[in-house]
Structure 1
Amino acid sequence: MSFINKITKTGQGIFKIIKNPWLLNDILNRNENWEHKTPSDYKKGLRQISLPQLFPEFDGKLETVAFLDGGSLITDLLLIKNACKTFVSCKYFEIGTWRGESIINLVDVAEDLNTLDLDINDFEKYHFSEDYAKAHSYFIKENSKIKQHLGDSTKFDFAKLNKKFDVIFIDGNHHFDFVVSDTKNIFTHLVHENSIVIWHDYAYSPERIRFEILNAILKGTPEELHQNIYHVENTMCAIYIPKNFETNQLKLYDNPRRTFSVELKVN
């Protein structure tokens, strides 16, 4: 590309940003920019542990999987389910429910099920489409076992719950400030000494780290607990669990360390 063409393209780019300032946020939030901000010890992501390390009896069946955008991998859902199975009469809390696909799969393994998601006014405030808002709670509207708390998680009074939870799933707004806020609130108000905290979308895929979320997790979690935060292999999730494990580092295009058997039927 000639010097003149580069100058022309630069000028066009600057004009577009002036005309559409939101484009600057897109540039600043690119994954490589967040990667540059990441502390040196985490440039390759969190240390990895496997599902069998976490849960030697790992197994499971899911009754409700939509396979639609905005959902979770089968391994993500089974990670949450197996985490709940480690507690007797598990108390579960999640931020970010939308259709309710994650929590509906826990009705047989958790005793106290709680969700927090936006109410209709908040959907409008954050400019979600009407169709997106209508999909809210699709799977759980008629389930009396699930307690639905409504509101913006950055303004919600977590202290009023007056309860600690065994498993907490953070899957709300995935921008840095929101994940930091959700994480701080969880560790301030809802965690006990044996709680498990799981963040969804720590990675775009099991092999591609989402550095904005990684930085938010580190910012929101007390520093003395960082040693117990891991990336769970074969999932898009990070996990805090107060135990130590042998770990490995993510290696792109590595050969599979394990495979899974899957059986599907359409309901």
Structure 2
Amino acid sequence: MSKLNKLIQAVKILAQKPYMINKVIDNEDVHQDEVLKIGTQYKEGIPTIDLTEVLPNFNETINPYSFLDGGSLLTDLALLKGLAKKYTDCTYFEIGTWRGESVANVAEMAKQCFTLNLPDERLREIGLREEYISQQSFYSKNLTNVTHLKGDSNIFDFSPYYGKCDVIFIDGDHHYDAVKRDTALAYQLIKDETSVIVWHDYAHTPETVRWDVFRGILEGTPKDKRKNLYHVSNTMCAIYSTTQYNELDKSKLIIPTKKFEVNLKTHSIL
């Protein structure tokens, strides 16, 4: 089929099913093309840095962890916990808590944690099941140093938290426009030049960029701060940090340069 015929067929489909335009707009290739318009240096994403350079003497225990759908990698949570450990009396802000695994791990190291999630009634409006809704903040709801905020980050008043946070974790709505909005907000939350921002799902896997999320991160980040964006090896996370790190050779990321020791132990919670 010629390109012209494909175009004609596509127009016919869109005329019959206008909602399909969203699939075109959210296509990974579209987002990748937009990223490359910002700069061809991003053709393979942002620089990848070694997890053990970010967290020297890496040794973290992750508890709790569910091994259920929708969670983070163990290394993602270890990154957050290790970063929080670097600060005296760390203040942590998280957008998107889900079961509360991430904030429950960080809370062990932080003085104060804030999390923002959609209210239960809003989750019902968008059609989520009660089983899903009941899991919100499952692990964090009884932690005394965790404040659970409710609201939509699109309209929530973040001003009381401006300039007060050491570590910010963005793991809410992963659509491009939402990531861009939450990213811009995150730069208002940082306390000073030592603060860090962490984005979950910058990558589909520790080696594969997720272009819709990356585009949101890049466009939400002030131009003068884009040089401080990194992907942390062995995780699905991107970070903003003013610390200068050594860039890894992406062509060799598939080759193991370290091994992790994982000890598993279950605890009944029912």
Taking structure 1 as the reference length, the TM-score comes to: 0.91
Question: Is the alpha carbon distance of 1:57 and 1:40 closer, same or farther for their aligned partners in structure 2, counting shifts above 3 Å?
Answer: same
Contact 1:114–1:146 (Cα < 8 Å) also in 2:
yes
Question: Is the alpha carbon distance of 1:223 and 1:240 closer, same or farther for their aligned partners in structure 2, counting shifts above 3 Å?
Answer: same
Q: Which residue does the alignment assign to 1:131?
A: 131
Question: Which stretches of structure 1, 4 residues or more, deviate above 6 A after TM superposition?
Answer: none
- Please tell me whether residue 25 in structure 1 is matched to residue 25 in structure 2: no
Question: Is the alpha carbon distance of 1:189 and 1:92 closer, same or farther for their aligned partners in structure 2, counting shifts above 3 Å?
Answer: closer
Deviates more, 1:252-261 or 1:199-208: 252-261
1:36 paired residue among 33, 36, 39:
33
Shift of 1:15: 5.1
Question: Is the alpha carbon distance of 1:66 and 1:17 closer, same or farther for their aligned partners in structure 2, counting shifts above 3 Å?
Answer: farther
Q: Which residue does the alignment assign to 2:198?
A: 198
- Report the residue type matching 1:52 in the other structure: T
Taking structure 2 as the reference length, the TM-score comes to: 0.90
Shift of 1:189: 3.6
Q: How many pairs does the alignment contain? A: 263
Contact 2:207–2:254 (Cα < 8 Å) also in 1:
no
Shift of 1:202: 0.2
Q: Quick one: distance in 1 between partners of 2:188 and 2:87?
A: 21
Q: Quick one: distance in 2 between partners of 1:36 and 1:10?
A: 23
Question: Is the alpha carbon distance of 1:190 and 1:246 closer, same or farther for their aligned partners in structure 2, counting shifts above 3 Å?
Answer: closer
Shift of 1:249: 4.1
Secondary structure class of the residue paired with 1:251 = helix
Secondary structure class of the residue paired with 1:182 = helix
Shift of 1:226: 1.1
Contact 2:165–2:189 (Cα < 8 Å) also in 1:
no
Shift of 1:78: 0.1
Q: How does 1:54-69 map to 2 (within 5 A)?
A: 54-69=54-69
Q: Which residue does the alignment assign to 1:152?
A: 152
Shift of 1:54: 0.7
Shift of 1:50: 0.8
Contact 2:166–2:195 (Cα < 8 Å) also in 1:
yes
**Unaligned regions of 5+ residues in structure 2, if any?**
none
Contact 1:201–1:213 (Cα < 8 Å) also in 2:
yes
Q: Quick one: distance in 1 between partners of 2:198 and 2:6?
A: 47
Q: Which residue does the alignment assign to 1:241?
A: 241
Q: Which residue does the alignment assign to 2:168?
A: 168
Q: How does 1:92-103 map to 2 (within 5 A)?
A: 92-103=92-103
Shift of 1:138: 1.4
Q: Deviations over 1:172-210 (max 9, x none)?
A: 100111111111111124442210110000001101100
Q: Quick one: distance in 1 between partners of 2:76 and 2:168?
A: 13
Q: How does 1:79-118 map to 2 (within 5 A)?
A: 79-118=79-118
Q: Quick one: distance in 1 between partners of 2:207 and 2:156?
A: 33
Secondary structure class of the residue paired with 1:168 = strand
Contact 1:46–1:249 (Cα < 8 Å) also in 2:
no
Q: Quick one: distance in 2 between partners of 1:31 and 1:252?
A: 24
Over aligned residues, Cα RMSD in angstroms? 2.2
Q: Which residue does the alignment assign to 2:188?
A: 188
- Report the residue type matching 1:84 in the other structure: A
Secondary structure class of the residue paired with 2:234 = coil
- Report the residue type matching 1:28 in the other structure: I
Q: How does 1:11-22 map to 2 (within 5 A)?
A: 11=9, 16-22=13-19
Overall identity of the aligned pairs, in % = 36
Q: Quick one: distance in 2 between partners of 1:93 and 1:254?
A: 32
Shift of 1:108: 1.6
Q: Which residue does the alignment assign to 1:78?
A: 78
